[in-house]
Amino acid sequence: MSTPAAYNIPNLLTYGRILAVPLIVLCFFMEGRLASSDFARWTALGLFALASITDFFDGYLARIWNQTSNIGRMLDPIADKLLVATALLLMAADTEKTIAGWSLWAAIIILCREILVSGLREYLAALKVSVPVTRIAKWKTAIQMIAIAVLLAGPAADKFLPYTTQFGIFLLWVAAILTMYTGYDYFRAGLKHVIDE
């Protein structure tokens, strides 16, 4: 008897990524209350890294095992955006002020692009138009995930490797610049269909 599509391994990995979101929030809640600040930071980093790895494997396994499904196609980008948005918002609001001042603009650019591109993709899907993911968009995602991981460790990692947080902020700005470029690319490709329609 075959496993229903909703419970295949690629989809279970996606569910795991969604489940990681409240666990990462819990780490920030624990920080300074139920656990040391460093322990909470390293735990959040571990959860985020594990969740980020599933982002690669769920799509890869779905393709090689021919287990792509509608629920997977719907939930995969939602899981990614929940993970990224939650981590950025937590670090903007944490007591360490990991993301503050001008670096908040990098986080805002990333969040706005994710929302705008999601809306565009949904609209184009209704027109039966798909916008393929470019190589530079994949690089953007990789740098963005590394930047967030570095910043999650941030203040805890600074004790072992000075300027870790500053390096994370630098990577966040690199991701934000690539985000603007790829967002423009998506809108240029999508706008043609909107105008034609």
Output the six-digit token pair for 43: 């735990």
Distance in angstroms (rounded) separating the CA atoms of residues 85 and 87:
6
What digits encode the pLDDT tens for the residues 43-87? 999 999 999 988 887 777 777 877 777 777 778 888 889 999 999
User: Domains, the chain, ranges and CATH?
Assistant: 5-196 (1.20.120.1760)
Distance in angstroms (rounded) separating the CA atoms of residues 197 and 180:
25
Q: What is the mean pLDDT of the chain?
A: 84
Distance in angstroms (rounded) separating the CA atoms of residues 86 and 95:
16
Neighbours of 134 (CB within 10 A): 14
| pTM for the predicted model, two decimal places | 0.87
What digits encode the pLDDT tens for the residues 4-46? 667 788 788 889 899 999 999 998 888 766 667 788 889 999 9
Give the pLDDT score at 78. 87
